[in-house]
Structure formats: structure tokens, C-alpha cells
Amino acid sequence: MLKAERVQYILQRLQELYPQPPIPLDHKDPYTLLVAVLLSAQCTDERVNQVTPALFAVADNALDMSSQDVSLIQSIVRPCGLSPQKAKAIRRLSEMLVEDYNGEVPADMEALERLPGVGHKTASVVMAQAFGVPAFPVDTHIHRLAQRWGLTSGKNVVQTERDLKRLFPRESWNRLHLQIIFYGREFCTARGCDGRVCEICRHCYPQRKHPKKTLKA
């Protein structure tokens, strides 16, 4: 199967399975999404959704969060892991939003990436899910699936993101990155599929005899 055929099949099959994929992290606006995505680093979305109600009950906007003690924020977000770094980042980015953007989250990739604790992937998620700007956030799981499906030979998420953006229509990026996440969680997990088990892997590579060795992100 040619790469172009794999791309078309993946687009069609994921659309059939997840026609309207929901945003996994509970939020009400760009600020609460930004904080939730920051907390999701090395943590499950499910755990983040369990933690954020208590955090946002204390402060759900940049102005209120900027006045909270880091120790209080840390005590709430501790179940998400890396709590000292995440708490400091949440407080400081809130201060910066108040100082530089009147408390609002900027709809600008470079501005987001300058905020503490906000890398390219987090900024991409916010741009896509809060502002509807085409972006293709790539985490380690999407990186792994893209290799299993023969969409990239990238050695890191940067190259994989570049390849996926080149292969798929721009208007599909925001929806597709969520569809791949949901498919990966349900069918093509790190332990549940080695490139020969799930439906998409088998369809794209019906003759694959050995596990697909993927390059680490």
C-alpha cells in the first residue's frame, strides 16, 4: 500500500470511528485549558480532570491565580506529579498573563511558548482546541503510531509533526490529532499493539511479520 493510500484510509477510518472527538481535558475557556494541558505533562487526562475542579474552585483566571501562594497550588496539583515545577509555572504564567496580556491567554504560538511550563506541544494544543487555529500537537504516543503506520521515520516529535502536517490536509489537523489520541488509547496502545495487532496497523501493513520498532521521541 502506497503512503498516499495509507493516509486516505487513516483519514476515512478515524472519521468513521470518531466523527466528533471531544476535547479530553475539562475546561471552560482558554485559561483553564492552558492550565489543564500544563498539568497533563507526564500525567493522564483522567487524573488532571480529577484535580482541576479543586484548583479552579480556588482560582479559575489569571488574576486570581497570580495572587495564590505557590504552596497552595502545589498542594492541590500534587497528584499530577512534578508538582513543584507545575505549581511555580502556573503561578508565574498567570502573573505574566496579567502583566502582559490583561489576564487573557494570547492566541499566538510564540507568545504562548514564552510562558513558563509551556512548550511547543502545549502551545499547539491551546491554539488548536481553544482558538481553532490549525495545529498538530504531537506527543510520544502519536509519534509512535505515526511510525507504526508508515507516516514518518522521524527520530523525534518535531520531525513527526512536520511529516504529519505535510501529509494531511490543514483543515483536518485539529480533529485528526484528537482522533489519533482516542484510537491509540483504545486500540493501538504501547503494550496492546506492536504494529501487527490493531485494525489500522493490519490494514496498512498486512504482510508485516515482525513487531515495528519505533524510534523514541
Q: Give yes or no: 121 in active site.
A: yes
CA distance 30 to 87: 18
- Amino acid identity, position 211: P
E strand segments, the chain = none
Closest CA to 215 of 138, 122, 137, 148: 148
In the block, residue with C-alpha cell 492550565: 35
Catalytic residue among 26, 45, 121, 216: 121
Contact criterion met (CB below 8 Å) for 31 and 119: no
Catalytic residue among 139, 155, 165, 213: 139
Q: What is the CA radius of gyration of the chain?
A: 18
Contact criterion met (CB below 8 Å) for 204 and 157: no
Contact criterion met (CB below 8 Å) for 201 and 188: yes
CA distance 54 to 27: 13
Contact criterion met (CB below 8 Å) for 151 and 7: yes
| Residue 159, C-alpha cell as written in the block | 520531525
CA distance 39 to 175: 22
Catalytic positions, written as ranges: 121, 139
